[in-house]
A and B are shown apart, each in its own frame.
Chain A
């Protein structure tokens, strides 16, 4: 019986149903803490543990889903292309901002990891945590870090950004919507961007651009910190 379902199709189907459930719960609760990715993750782990299914069985299917991270990253280019007009007007400030944000993020992570005396493997896994997940995973793999730790931190950063985005603008006197958007996108990628889109069109567009730009900045700068 068990052998029959131990094909890659099992992992893919479980992921699909769990994700549908995650999105459903998120829409019902309308709370940034009810993040669909976290709900899906908890659902799948609970299912595997309760029915005592080996992780390897799930992994044979989930590896196929992971293959698609490359095209997912590639089509981020379409999101940038759609914002080309706004980007043309504010190109220099936006690039400077994402560059400064990436530097601040990398430097503060390195500093904190040294201060807390964390293992270099953990530093390698955390360095890229401010950028969008497909890029963050690619960077972590370069440094021989733990991808799961990167994803966990990326989700924590995104959730914190999503929660704090409106408050941060007021606390740090960020009155310019362009600056606010770039700040949100630089520090909390797509999860923060969904909140930026609620704050306004300009914030949302700038935050989307910052996702890609800070991803590129971090790819280029991260090796200097590891």
Chain B
């Protein structure tokens, strides 16, 4: 029963996310809305982590399993993948480097700037 209640809560939040997504004037995935909704519920203590502990742990620990169908559906697109495999690799590598450098360097620069401003305030 405990697990059933947890699943009912999690699935209910997902449906709420889908409804909100349909009502929004712009496109935004319902699953991401339910994630944000759940962060809000947890932080505001309306939903306790213990209330959904076992089920959320199950999904987090076995996350990869739920990506299998999408990965297997690659076999429906073998012709396309064969025709652009090197472009795909190149795009991936370049964007990976760009993304890594941009994000890590921004974190370092912004935290240094913040530190600098805080020091100035104290002086």
Contacts and interface: CB of A to CB of B under 8 A. Distances in A.
Contacts of B37: 74, 77
A153 B99 CA distance: 15
Contacts of A178: 107, 111
Interface in B10-35: 10-11, 13-14, 17-18, 26-32, 34-35
Nearest to A210: B103
Contact of A18 (B43, B49, B68, B88): B68
Contacts of B7: 71
B94 A112 contact: yes
Chain A binding site: helix, strand, loop or mixed by DSSP?
helix
B72 A100 contact: no
Given A69-B31, A73-B32, A133 B67 contact: yes
A24 interface: no
B118 to A, nearest CB: 11
B5 interface: no
A147 B31 contact: no
Contacts of A113: 91
Nearest to B88: A153
A147 B95 CA distance: 19
A205 to B, nearest CB: 13
Contacts of A156: 88-89, 92
A13 interface: no
Nearest to B65: A19
Contact of B105 (A16, A45, A174): A174
Interface size class of B (residues with CB under 8 A): 35 or more
Interface residues of A, number: 106
B99 A186 contact: yes
A94 B104 CA distance: 9
B60 to A, nearest CB: 6
A118 interface: yes
A147 B110 CA distance: 35
A202 to B, nearest CB: 12
Nearest to A126: B91
Interface string B53-76: 001110110011111111111111
Interface in A92-148: 92-94, 96-105, 107-109, 112-113, 116, 118, 122, 126, 129-130, 133-135, 137-139, 142, 146-148
Interface of A: 11, 15-16, 18-19, 36-38, 40-41, 44-45, 48, 55, 58-59, 62-63, 65-66, 68-82, 84, 90, 92-94, 96-105, 107-109, 112-113, 116, 118, 122, 126, 129-130, 133-135, 137-139, 142, 146-153, 155-157, 160-161, 164, 168-169, 172, 174-176, 178-180, 182-184, 186-188, 190, 210, 212, 214-216, 219-220, 223
Given A37-B67, A62-B73, A174-B105, 4 more contacts: A15-B68, A65-B65, A149-B77, A216-B32
